[in-house]
Amino acid sequence: MERNKVIVAFEKFGRSFLLPVSVLPAAGILKGIGAAFTNPSTVKMYPFLGVKGLQIFMKLLVTLGDVAFKNLPLMFAVGVCVGLAKKEKGSAALSAVLGFLSFHYILNFLLKTTGTLVVADGLTKAQVSQLMAQSMQTKVLGIQTMDLNVFGGLIVGVVAYFVHKKAITIQLPQVIGFFSGPRLVPILIMPVMALVSLIVFIIWPSVQNVINIISVLILKSGYIGTFLYALAERFLLPFGLHHGLNWPIRTTELGGIFNVNGKTVYGTINAYMAAISTPNGPIDPNITRFSSGKFVYNMFGLPGAALAMYKTAKPKNKKIVGSLLLAAAGTSFLTGITEPLEFTFLFVAPMLYAVHAVLAGITLLSLHALGAAFLTPTGHGLINYIIYGVLQGTRTKWYLLPITGVVCFIVYYFVFKFMITKFDYKTPGREGDIEDIHISTKEEARSKYGLKTLKDEMREEKQEKMSTHDQALGLIECYGGRENIVTVDACITRLRIDVKDKAKVDKKRIKEEYHAMGVSENGMQVQSIYGAHAQTLKMEIIDILGIED
């Protein structure tokens, strides 16, 4: 059954954020390190850091970080357009840049024409800044324009995408045929953005008021809002919809409107970066309430759950289970990548995942209540905790993490151990042969429960164009041919084929040409993830090879 079009559009839009935000971790690290070592209190504590050359270098890092954070609207305009476009992405990027410039130049023209442009004549810099803030104006790439923040970039990105989508298919008359297709997009984007600018100029003040009201409501939701955010984010993750919740909170007014060192800042990431750049200034825990707790359950809670799974595994399976869970827990602790563990919960039993979501909500709520004030653009693990927490000094209250982390580890361990044994959940190592022990992938978990993302539907469309027989023939070839295949089997989601020589298996082709969601090895067995389709492929391959099931 076709998924709701609204959900598909929401997911597609959320996934388009990934391109522009992929720059933020690196930019954040540069700015975080630079801000930490140029902080006056840090320099006072460690005088050797005051060396002029070192301070110049650290200020350079801050400047490099600001390149991304001060140009987020442009990055989102280009990133969203390119992320949504399916072809001619170069033309899409150029159109987004041109559309962004056109948008703000025309807004500047409209402000001048209506006599509402703030003029700096006879005013101090502080007075101009205050007046521009009151008038909802700012400067973008040197253009004085309406202050739309990241929303301006999102508007341009979406409009540029639709113009690009329609224009690249238009074939002009032969005499001007040179301008057809991708060349037509930049030509059309300017008049279209002129119209969009006029509409935005008229309606945005009212829209901004609504956004401000929503922002205030989110801030006033307090601890309950923090808990519900964490709960919603975890429940959206299996559907691939969590990006649509996270990035508006992190980069727009929906995450809060904060006053940092006399300047109005929108979104949690922007506010935190401004706060750590302010010498010795306190950090409002409302800025970090959707982030601090993630460090705790990523670095301590999920490893506690991994230990519970290890302890409840059968003794004969503990060696292999331990190595798999140690790697997954270590990844979660160091980098904040939690999917191997979270999707294993989901694959084994949705109730385990639901309990994890509730515990995650309680963890975020607790850190908010304690006043923890550390945040990262993405990746809530040890590396970013040191950069954005420890190195920024005690004003982040970084010392709360190890204290609450121990408690979180213990709670996750005992809760998960109780549930696994009480309800006999088949976590890795509790049943089946040793070759069946594995950490579940997100594709595997989603396939088991019929949860489909846009990516899954695209993969299924490709599979439908290829018959099962042709797919089976291709897989036999990819596995090294008949002579290299020993046995063929399948579990719920994986096609399991034992081979004589693993070097002859073409994993790349299995994934790219024959649409496996993933390929892994276990001894001389090569496993391809196909969801429920794995059993069908198994029977087809057995029939072709003429071997017994």
CA atoms within 13 A on the CB side of 312: 24
CB proximity list for 240: less than 8 A, separation 6 or greater: 11, 14, 15, 453, 454, 455
DSSP state of 298: I
Decide: 392 and 384 in contact? Cβ < 8 Å: no
Helix (H) or strand (E) holding 96: helix 89-113
CA atoms within 13 A on the CB side of 304: 24
DSSP state of 4: P
Given the residues 81, 408, 478, 491, the one annotated as active site: 491
Distance in angstroms (rounded) separating the CA atoms of residues 34 and 529: 44
Distance in angstroms (rounded) separating the CA atoms of residues 404 and 415: 16
Distance in angstroms (rounded) separating the CA atoms of residues 401 and 94: 44
Helix runs in 277-317, H state only: 285-288, 292-296, 302-311
Report the DSSP beta bridge partners of residue 136. Answer: none
Helices and strands in the chain: count of H runs, count of E runs: 26, 8
Report the amino acid identity of residue 398: W
What's the burial of 134, exposed, middle or buried (CB within 10 Å: 0-12/13-18/19+)?
Answer: exposed
Distance in angstroms (rounded) separating the CA atoms of residues 310 and 333: 17
Which residue has tokens 């899954």?
456
Decide: 87 and 121 in contact? Cβ < 8 Å: no
Whether 491 is a known active-site residue: answer: yes
Distance in angstroms (rounded) separating the CA atoms of residues 360 and 383: 20
The CA–CA distances, whole Å, from 94 to 13, 111, 138, 172 equal: 20, 26, 24, 21
Decide: 145 and 137 in contact? Cβ < 8 Å: yes
Instruction: List the one residue out of 84, 517, 446, 444 whose CA is nearest residue 239.
Output: 446
DSSP state of 492: S
Active site residues: 491
